[in-house]
């Protein structure tokens, strides 16, 4: 990912920082200087997040670090209230030291003045991470957290039902995917190759794969490009499948979607690496019948894949023990036992380069018929572009896009129109925050 220009980052930080600083207290959780004074007993850190498996890594850390003890408090996921809770706490001056924050949302937290710079504690660990993931946690030379993972996308599918409907091999291209979707639905109108949900970040991964950028910067201005030709190409493809009624339209990650997967009404899911354990725990009766294949591509001769997610362990505003917080965050992302746990339980693909040789990545997965599923994600990673840039108002953008995707799924809107609408709303929202927007 390209580093954001200094002047643009400065513009981000000034938007709401003053309001947050006014609301933060220098007592309680600390002044945010990061200087840990002499402590009687262990340093205690609170950590808010929602991912499964994080609590187990915290427990591992606590067993081997008696001088630093971390308490993991499970919150709603970021998009369902977790981020709002963190930002509210930062404004009130009682935020936890640590928070699970997706790369896509980190710029918004920086704009809100809700983060603590831990750069002086992390200069010697930067080289342990894939370069593009470090850029995800760095704005204007300030480092606000430690990368945890990336999220290459793939096709999770019912190999037995593919065979039932005459699909000899998983679709390698989007052209083949559309043909297979038509074939399945023609054989049984109640069955669908895949589901088109309302997850804005899953859709972002589809755009990412196609080189359809959403944001850019230049000349001290933001560019919003959700309605570009490249984006409209992606939208038109999926709109065609929707128009032909070839996709199920259950809400993303909803019980209805998993129920349709369990009953054989939805045969596959194009999603990120972290979706593999979610399917395994949500469609348990399908154990041994599922498999993982590469995400369909636009050009088989020049394959490119998408990324849907990735998180950092961020240090929030007001943390009195930023040094210890950085120590824990680094340990969680690099310690072999912790990374192994996060691979198996959370479904991460590690951001730390040492994690790429973790034995957990080479273990056969019984749910997926004994397949070593991480081989698929490993092969894809070299073909994922790393210059994708997130915008500073992703909470608004993702909400507007998610609403639009839901309407498109029910026929209440078309995807090209949704993109045009979200682009306009996003640009307006950025201008309301005092950001310079081109056009």
pLDDT computed for residue 80 by the predictor: 86
Residue 378 lies in a domain: no
One domain, residues 289 and 258? yes
Q: What is the mean pLDDT of the chain?
A: 91
Residue 382 lies in a domain: no
Is the per-residue pLDDT at 190 higher than 50?
yes
pLDDT computed for residue 221 by the predictor: 95
Both tokens assigned to 192? 């669908």
One domain, residues 110 and 19? yes
One domain, residues 192 and 271? yes
CB atoms within 10 A of CB 226: 27
One domain, residues 116 and 187? no
One domain, residues 100 and 160? no
Residue 265 lies in a domain: yes
pLDDT computed for residue 439 by the predictor: 78
Residue 27 lies in a domain: yes
pLDDT computed for residue 274 by the predictor: 96
* Domain harbouring 220, CATH code: 3.40.190.10
Share of the chain above pLDDT 90, in %: 89
Domain that holds residue 319: 6-150+309-357
One domain, residues 278 and 317? no
Residue 364 lies in a domain: no
User: pLDDT band for position 110 (50/70/90)?
Assistant: very high
Residue 415 lies in a domain: yes
Beta bridge pairs of residue 186: none
One domain, residues 296 and 320? no
Is the per-residue pLDDT at 21 higher than 60?
no
Beta bridge pairs of residue 45: 70
Closest of 23, 192, 146, 153 to residue 92, by C-alpha: 23
Is the per-residue pLDDT at 19 higher than 50?
no
Closest of 187, 167, 192 to residue 261, by C-alpha: 192
* Residues 289/369, Cβ–Cβ less than 8 Å: yes
Which of helix, strand or coil describes residue 372? coil
Query: How many distinct structural domains can be found in the chain?
Result: 2
Residue 363 lies in a domain: no
pLDDT computed for residue 22 by the predictor: 33
Residue 438 lies in a domain: no
pLDDT computed for residue 79 by the predictor: 84
Is the per-residue pLDDT at 37 higher than 70?
no
User: pLDDT band for position 18 (50/70/90)?
Assistant: very low
* Residues 225/216, Cβ–Cβ less than 8 Å: yes
User: What does pTM read for this prediction?
Assistant: 0.90
Beta bridge pairs of residue 426: none
One domain, residues 164 and 146? no
User: pLDDT band for position 140 (50/70/90)?
Assistant: confident
One domain, residues 180 and 77? no
One domain, residues 284 and 349? no
- Domain finish residue from 357, 378, 395: 357
User: pLDDT band for position 39 (50/70/90)?
Assistant: low
Both tokens assigned to 360? 């957990």
Which of helix, strand or coil describes residue 30? coil
Own/partner contacts of 190-194, CB < 8 Å, gap of 24 or more, are 190/265, 191/165, 191/264, 191/265, 191/267, 192/246, 192/247, 192/248, 192/260, 192/265, 192/266, 192/267, 193/246, 193/247, 193/266, 193/267, 193/268, 194/247, 194/248, 194/266, 194/267, 194/268, 194/269, 194/270
One domain, residues 346 and 275? no
Task: Please give the average per-residue pLDDT across 109-123, as a whole number.
Answer: 96
One domain, residues 50 and 168? no
Closest of 132, 89, 133 to residue 112, by C-alpha: 89
């Amino acid at each position: 990912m390209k580093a954001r220009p200094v002047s643009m980052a400065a513009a981000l930080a000034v938007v709401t920082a003053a309001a947050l600083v006014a609301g933060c207290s220098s007592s309680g959780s600390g002044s945010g200087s990061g200087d840990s004074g002499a402590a009687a007993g262990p340093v205690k850190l609170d950590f808010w997040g929602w991912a499964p498996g994080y609590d187990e890594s915290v427990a591992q850390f606590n067993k081997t670090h008696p001088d630093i003890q971390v308490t993991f408090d499970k919150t709603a996921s970021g998009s369902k209230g977790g981020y709002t809770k963190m930002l509210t706490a930062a404004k009130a001056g009682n935020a936890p030291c640590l928070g699970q924050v997706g790369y896509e949302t980190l710029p918004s937290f920086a704009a809100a003045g809700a983060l603590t710079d831990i750069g002086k504690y992390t200069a010697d660990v930067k080289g342990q991470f894939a370069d593009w993931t470090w850029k995800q946690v760095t704005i204007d030379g300030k480092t606000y957290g430690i990368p945890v993972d990336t999220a290459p996308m793939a096709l999770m599918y019912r190999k037995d039902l593919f065979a039932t409907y005459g699909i000899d091999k998983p679709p390698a291209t989007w052209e083949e995917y559309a043909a297979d979707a038509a074939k399945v639905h023609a054989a049984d109108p109640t069955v669908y190759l895949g589901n088109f949900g309302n997850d804005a970040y899953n859709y972002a991964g589809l755009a990412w794969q196609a080189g359809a950028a959403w944001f850019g910067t230049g000349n001290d201005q933001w560019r919003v490009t959700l309605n570009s030709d490249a984006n409209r190409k992606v939208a038109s493809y999926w709109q065609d499948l929707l128009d032909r009624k070839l996709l199920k339209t259950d809400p993303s990650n909803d019980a209805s979607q998993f129920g349709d997967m369990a009953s054989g009404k939805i045969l596959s899911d194009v999603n990120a690496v972290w979706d593999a354990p979610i399917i395994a725990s949500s469609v348990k009766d399908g154990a041994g019948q599922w498999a993982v294949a590469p995400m369909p591509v636009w050009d088989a001769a020049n394959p490119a894949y998408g990324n849907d997610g990735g998180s950092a362990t961020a240090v929030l505003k007001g943390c009195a023990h930023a040094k210890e917080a950085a120590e824990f965050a680094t340990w969680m992302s690099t310690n072999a036992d912790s990374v192994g746990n996060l691979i198996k339980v959370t479904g991460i693909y590690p951001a730390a380069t040492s994690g790429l040789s973790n034995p957990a990545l080479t273990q056969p997965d019984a749910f997926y018929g004994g397949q070593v599923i991480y081989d698929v994600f490993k092969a894809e990673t070299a073909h994922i572009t790393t210059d994708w840039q997130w915008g500073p108002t992703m909470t608004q953008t993702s909400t507007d896009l998610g609403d639009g995707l839901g309407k498109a799924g029910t026929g209440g809107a078309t995807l090209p129109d949704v993109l045009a609408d979200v682009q306009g709303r996003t640009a307006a929202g950025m201008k309301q925050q005092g950001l310079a927007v081109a056009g």
